[in-house]
């Protein structure tokens, strides 16, 4: 049997959710509300939360009045998210490189560094081309990514985290194209090893990529409060683009 891509296996693991259990849901809620206000989204507009995980951003978007579909490759995450489904909020298992057949959206959001997981940059184009196909004319794409420049410059090489009885040994490295995070731990006497691998895509890289895939980059922000992006110091790289 062919091995799963790293993200398909790791993101569907209970240990992934354990390691990142300290994520700030209130911060995520405020971020989405800032985006809704900035984009002047109106109740009933159709939004795709692409790589939605367990749906925390989707739920807030729906609470703001949007008709939302959350899509993610991890079946267990989608099963959890689906508990929050209603007439205007639904969830599907989906590979972001493909079009969701028959669906079109006013806005597609790809949040919390859910891009650049692939070995090939061609897969990045597949993602953006699929998004382009699913957006209505002049539709909006929001990508929330790590600030790769800052991450590389401040890389924490070794770290140990104790979470809910599990000790995670974490090491990080940069090979010139990808940032790697090696995660090792034991559970019930069994050793585990996962490796996160994300392309170090800069703001200039994104600008070129978006242009090539039919988007106009409108604005970049540097944090969840939508302050200006500064390459050396911003926590995030948040891009707002319009379908040409």
Cβ-based burial of 92 (10 A; exposed 0-12, middle 13-18, buried ≥19): middle
What residue ranges do the domains of the chain occupy? 6-148+202-243, 151-196
- Per-residue pLDDT band for 1 (boundaries 50, 70, 90) equals very low
Residues 6+ apart with CB under 8 A from 118: 5, 124, 199
Torsion 63-141-233-159 (CA) sign: positive
Query: CB neighbours (10 Å) of residue 53?
Result: 23
Closest-CA residue to 197 (of 172, 163, 230) = 172
Task: Label residue 3 by pLDDT band (50, 70, 90).
Answer: low
* pLDDT digits 0-9 by tens, 59-116: 999 999 999 999 999 999 999 999 999 999 999 999 999 999 999 999 999 999 999 9
Pair 217, 239: CB distance under 8 Å: yes
Residues in the chain: 244
Q: Do 32 and 64 touch, CB atoms closer than 8 A?
A: yes
Question: Cα–Cα distances in Å, from 180 out to 151, 172, 194, 196?
Answer: 11, 5, 10, 6
pLDDT above 90 covers a percentage of the chain that reads: 94
Look at the domain 6-148+202-243 and name its fold: Rossmann fold (3.40.50)
Residue 133 sits at φ, ψ, to 5 deg, of -65, -30
């Amino acid at each position: 049997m062919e091995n799963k891509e790293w993200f398909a296996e790791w993101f569907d693991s209970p240990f992934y959710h354990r390691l990142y259990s300290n994520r700030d849901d209130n911060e995520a809620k405020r971020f989405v509300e800032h985006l809704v206000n900035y984009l002047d989204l109106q109740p009933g507009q159709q939004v795709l939360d692409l790589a939605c995980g367990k749906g925390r951003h989707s739920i807030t978007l729906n609470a703001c009045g949007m008709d939302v579909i959350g899509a993610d490759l991890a079946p267990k995450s989608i099963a959890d998210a689906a508990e929050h489904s209603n007439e205007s909020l639904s969830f599907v298992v989906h590979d972001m490189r493909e079009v969701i057949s028959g669906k079109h959206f006013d806005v597609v959001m790809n949040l919390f560094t859910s891009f650049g997981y692939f070995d090939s940059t061609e897969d990045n184009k597949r993602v953006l081309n699929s998004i382009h196909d699913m957006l209505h004319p002049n539709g909006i794409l929001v990508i929330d990514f790590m600030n790769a420049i800052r991450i590389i410059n401040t890389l924490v090489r070794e770290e140990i985290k104790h979470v809910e009885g599990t000790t995670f040994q974490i090491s990080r490295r940069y090979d010139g194209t990808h940032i790697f995070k090696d995660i090792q731990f034991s559970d019930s006497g069994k050793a585990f090893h996962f490796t996160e691998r994300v392309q170090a895509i800069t703001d200039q890289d994104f600008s070129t990529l978006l242009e090539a895939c039919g988007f106009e980059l409108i604005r970049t922000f540097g944090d969840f409060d939508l302050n200006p992006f500064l390459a050396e110091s911003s926590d995030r790289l948040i891009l707002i683009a319009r379908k040409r």
